[in-house]
Amino acid sequence: MKSINPANQEIIKEYKELNAKEVKTRIEQVHEKWLEWKGSSFEFRSELMFNLAKVLRKNQQKYAEIISLEMGKPITESLGEVEKSAWVCEYYAEEAENMLKDEVLKSDAESSFVSFEPLGVVLAVMPWNFPFWQVFRFAAPALMAGNVGLLKHASNVMGCAEAIEDCFMEAGFPENVFKNLVIGSSKVEAIVKHSYVKATTLTGSEYAGRKVAGASGAALKKSVLELGGSDPFIVLEDANLEEAAYWGVFSRLLNNGQSCIAAKRFILHKDIADKYLSLIRAEIKKWNIGDPIDESCKLGPLARPDLLTDLEIQLKDAVDKGAEILEGGKAISGAGNYFEPTIIKNLTPQMNIYHEETFGPVFSIYIVKNEEEAIKLANASEFGLGASLWTSNKERGVKLARRVESGAVFINGMTKSDPRLPFGGIKKSGYGRELSHYGIKEFLNMKTIWVG
């Protein structure tokens, strides 16, 4: 297992994968610790979680550099990711006890209520694109609820995985409350089946989601999946075009275009399409391409060479079938996995790009006659993670947002995750929710207690 710098293809570090016996031992150790951890007080867990936020901020520069070196995120974004990870720790440290207090319900009993109780060991299969944030948004609520965590991180960000485990130890968490597993994907199914593992959460590809969901279902275990997205970015004729252009480009190019909730399908009203396209073309030119460790860099390399190849295949298929590339369209020569910001239009259902997620700096342009056509096109996707809708009429925006088939709709703003708001998708974007009070309750036994 190798960690490779995507900016220059140099090997950062090699990791030895754990064998089956070592994995089994770690599962047993984490389960044993859960028997103790589940009885700890919210006050104790909260103190540790606040410590965790402090450790993240103290080591913010170091952690950000690890992120940028391993997966190519611009350093300014990596610094923000570490800060956001600290925020989610503080959020659940402050809110978890109130979220999980007994809920009194009326019934024929003298008293009846719901008690929220932890399940045990939760396996987290996490992706490389937000290697700190994705882990902490799972770990903070799971551990505050009394569960313990096993992390199977993406193979190309094992440096991040090790740093995260060290972070928990430095914050004072008992050993084995949170444990990293240096393993490849082939070992995940056996872990899901282990009797001590009670639930699984996965953020990743549709393929990985199907595998984990299948293994979890066969073992009759709970799973939460956050998979791909092909988010519509709808700009209506009455939108503030300058704002919509700025945030559209920001959303599409954030994280080098490698975000599940990035704006991917730009659905433009015909009356403003030409002006909007000129605005985003101008905005794209402001994004400096370079070494992600350099603070002037706004757009770095894709995380792996195969991701660059996937984009080339999608674009060639589209062009061969009649699409037109307005900007970019090819890899940038050199050692790193750099790809030009690309604008493509005249897309039809015969093209793969019409149906697939594009994981890179590609703007897919669709032009519609009216709002009805915009909503129909927005929903003509097998994904349903997020959406962004732009209009100066907020009442109109809310009315249309209710008709968009997705887990979230942001009106006059880019789709984003926030610890205070539930996050997740529908259709092939997965099921279940993370964050907010909804997310912390996913891996709990909601136990009814009836007193006669």
Whether the CB-CB separation of 122 and 200 falls below 8 Å is answered with: yes
Who's near 155: CB < 8 A, 6+ residues apart? 1, 2, 184, 185
Whether the CB-CB separation of 85 and 132 falls below 8 Å is answered with: yes
Count Cα neighbours of 22 within 13 Å in the Cβ-side half-sphere: 10
* Residue carrying structure tokens 């994907």: 185
Output the CA angle 292-293-294, nearest 5 degrees: 90
Helix axes 42-58, 60-71, angle to 10 degrees: 70
Whole-angstrom distance, CA of residue 367 vs CA of residue 338: 28
Residues comprising the chain, all counted: 452
At 194, list the tokens: 């282990």
Composition of the chain by helix, strand, coil, percent to 5: 45, 20, 35
3-state secondary structure of 300: coil
At 146, list the tokens: 């009394």
* Residue carrying structure tokens 């100066």: 392
Neighbours of 447 (CB within 10 A): 11
Strand 197-203 vs strand 444-451: parallel, antiparallel, or unpaired?
Answer: unpaired
Whole-angstrom distance, CA of residue 57 vs CA of residue 80: 10
At 188, list the tokens: 């995940």
Which amino acid is present at 153? H
3-state secondary structure of 350: coil
3-state secondary structure of 283: helix
CA-wise closest residue to 340 among 326, 351, 322, 353: 326
The separation between CA 222 and the C-alpha centre of its own chain, rounded to angstroms, equals 19
Q: What is the largest CA-CA distance in the chain?
A: 74
Which amino acid is present at 401? A
Q: Which residues are catalytic?
A: 226, 260
- Report the DSSP beta bridge partners of residue 226: 203, 430
